[in-house]
Structure 1
Amino acid sequence: MTNESSSELVIRRLYQVTQDHSKGFEHQLLELLKMGLERFDLDIAILSKIDQNKYVVKYCVTPDEVPLNPNDCFDLNATYCSMTCNAKGPVGIEHMGEDDTLAVHPAYQAFGLESYIGIPIRLNGQLYGTLNFSSPTPYPRMFRDVDIDALQLMASWVEVELIRREQEAQLKALNKELHHLANFDSLTNVPNRRGMHQTLHKDLNRLSRSQGHGTIALLDIDRFKQLNDTYGHQAGDDALVAIAEKITQSLRDYDFVARFGGEEFLLWLPDTAQEECSIVCKRVMENIATIGITAEPITVSIGACHFLFNQFKPDDMSKLIDNIISEADTVLYEAKAQGRNRLNSVTKVLSAG
């Protein structure tokens, strides 16, 4: 077979292996290692990751009698890949034992591998690890340029795919961060109005199907302007953060809190009887009173609207949510007018007709 036809065969086989996206990166990588073993007629194939002076096996294909597994770790200087890293390019050795220097290499002494061909893997100019193939038996011929070309083709795909996966991971992390920024309040780190509406839409749709019940409550910090004027806006921000933390600690796993705006928070207590909602709200008030930012205890007023579905399925869920919040807002201002630091509530039956 000519060098040209050999290269074409490698390219064709590499294309077949790397186009099988549906089976995932690990399958593709292992198939590529198997392809390399067939191409070079060797026994052991490894994609390694170099972590400082540690050589970590990421993927490998070996005979049954070779006890090598992913995540196995070795001293880099005790591997042939240390030579590859130092060479900064492909390395091919047909018979280690015939070279006086290589015959005393720690890897040769430990594993007795006679033949080896490897290449550094680099991501964005930085060393990632190595792609290498080896065997305990000497290579029957010299490694040729066509072998190096085949190795470089395989290494190029590995580098591109690792970079793609790294970029994909970065994109997912960025999207997660953007989602958090869009749905959470930057100061208190609890959901904002947008996040609140998403949760309420989902939960109230569920409750409407099961004809369940729950409570939406609005919590307002008493005399918050006076707090800001007396202690400064930083203390006001600190109070908002501390109150959000106290509310979160006071709620149950399935409850929900959002910053509704300014000094107001919204509490959502699903699948809960009115008496239980009162207990939760009073616990919130008691825990907020323990905050030590001001000389006097911080107090809050709460207006709660407990509602239950009674053969009722809303046509406009957004409108229903606004109506329930409006009911809670009305009793909140009644609580403020009655002297603050209190919980007022109302019950609303959602019936058809």
Structure 2
Amino acid sequence: MHTEYSESENVIRRLHEITQSYDKGFDFQMHALIQLGLERFNLDIGILAQVEGDTYTIRHCICPEYMPLMPGNAFEFGMTYCAVTCESNGVVAIEHVGNSDILGSHPAYRHFGLESYIAIPIHVGGVTWGTLNFSSPAPYPRAFKAIDIDSLQLMASWIEVELVRRMQENQLRELNVKLKEMASIDPLTQLMNRHAFIDKLSRYVDHFRRSKQQEAALLLIDIDSFKGLNDTYGHLLGDKVLVEFAKVITANLRSYDVVARYGGEEFVIWLVDTDRAGIEVVCDRLMSGLDNLALVDEKLTASIGICHLQTRPVAENALSQFVKPAQMIDAMVARAGQALCQAKANGRARYAFCNAEPVYIDTLS
């Protein structure tokens, strides 16, 4: 009795050491846990397997060379001992499978010839996830003891808790990603919102400022007479126009350009690596695409204000005031806004540049 107590104490101590080694990762922990089981039961094969429908898949295992099993190997669930284990209410422990009424006639016995077998179902959220099992081609030299059953149950309990914890972590990670996306996406147009655009543009601008002889542009776009459109046709139709125009914008930009709904009926675009002619092509396409939407009887138009930028190398002591990305962005938006007002004042349905020449941004030579 004292020996069994010592053995039980040793298993608990080893299991505690394994389960506390989170920093080494789940794969390390599972390998150590299966190794503990092989030593405890004095068996050759240890497997943690997952059951999905009719498929039994090995997730973690330690096997001798004569049994070349590895993680990822899959079998028909009904052809494994675990089909019987999953139907049980607890541990299945059989010292000599060939003499067993339960598994002696099982197809897995005829195929693999494993004589000794001890296993337990793994449950996650009240559903059978798979099994933890240990086996050997040789009959077990003694009867499985109560400590063997207790040890396997302890191992299974930790695996179940850990699988639930990992599942919850994954769900939380996915939720955080989704919440982050929701916080950065305009719910109507599914474009980036203003806050996310400014955040992303800060990184783009910092890179642009450090480039030599590069051109870019910030476009501020406003759908003309949008309030009248809402008053005449209602906000649902107004929303439809915004959604469809967002699709037009996306379809006419390159994958590395950045677009956002800036607010109300305004959109903002950051075009990289483009000259004045390229900017004009984009503007013409956007205005034509809006005109072709045909969502209302009258012609839909937009006005666009453009801040065209170009870097130029200067000596370090001659750097301009637009060094910090935040300052550059404020200046670009202000100049594009001025150009937008000019386009509106000139009759709408047109685009205007804030300067005849690009706005030069000094960078180190």
TM surpasses 0.5: yes
Q: Secondary structure at the match of 2:188?
A: coil
Picking from 233, 251, 254, the partner of 2:253 is 251
- 2:254 is paired with a residue whose SS is coil
**Within 5 Å, which residues of 2 pair with 1:1-353?**
2-211=3-212, 212-310=214-312, 311=314, 312=319, 314-346=322-354, 347-351=358-362
CA distance in 1, matches of 2:127, 2:16: 26
1:53–1:76: 8 Å Cα contact kept in structure 2?
Answer: yes
Cα gap change, 1:296 to 1:73, in 2 (>3 Å): farther
Shift of 1:308: 2.6
| Rounded Cα–Cα distance in structure 1 between residues aligned with 2:328 and 2:75 | 63
1:97 Cα offset (Å): 0.5
- Flag as ranges the 4+ runs of structure 1 deviating above 4 A: none
Identity of matched residues, %? 46
Partner of 1:104, secondary structure, is coil
Matches of 2:38 and 2:227, distance apart in 1? 74
Report if the CA contact (8 A) 2:206-2:324 is conserved.
Answer: no
Per-residue CA shift, 1:140-169, capped at 9, x if unaligned? 111111001111111122112111111111
Q: Distance in 2 between matches of 1:321 and 1:101?
A: 74
- Aligned-partner Cα distance in 2 for 1:285–1:100: 80
Q: How far apart are the structure 1 equivalents of 2:170 and 2:311?
A: 43
- Cα distance change of structure 1 residues 101 and 149 upon mapping to structure 2, 3 Å threshold: closer
Kept after mapping to 2: 8 A contact 1:55/1:73: yes
Q: In structure 2, how many angstroms separate the alpha carbons of the residues matched to 1:275 and 1:58?
A: 58
Question: For structure 1, which segment, 145-154 or 73-82, has the greater mean C-alpha deviation from structure 2 after superposition?
Answer: 73-82
Contact 2:221–2:302 (8 Å) recurs in 1: yes
Contact 2:219 2:336 survives alignment (8 Å): yes
Letter in 2 for 1:73: A
Between the aligned partners of 1:245 and 1:34, the Cα distance in structure 2 is 57
- Aligned residue type for 2:240: D
TM-score w.r.t. length of structure 2: 0.90
Amino acid at match of 2:139: P
Which blocks of at least 5 consecutive residues in structure 2 are unaligned?
Answer: none
The alpha-carbon deviation at position 331 of structure 1 amounts to 0.9
Task: Tell which deviates more after alignment, 310-319 or 270-279.
Answer: 310-319
Bigger mean CA offset, 325-334 vs 54-63: 54-63
TM-score, normalization by structure 1: 0.93
1:315 deviates by 5.0
Shift of 1:350: 3.5
> Using the alignment, how far apart are the partners of 1:64 and 1:238 within structure 2?
65
What is the deviation of 1:339?
2.0
CA distance in 2, matches of 1:276, 1:112: 73
Contact 2:94 / 2:100 at 8 angstroms: preserved in 1? Answer: no
Aligned AA (1:200): L
CA distance in 1, matches of 2:244, 2:159: 49
Q: CA RMSD in A?
A: 1.9
**Segment of structure 1 superposing worse, 194-203 or 207-216:** 207-216
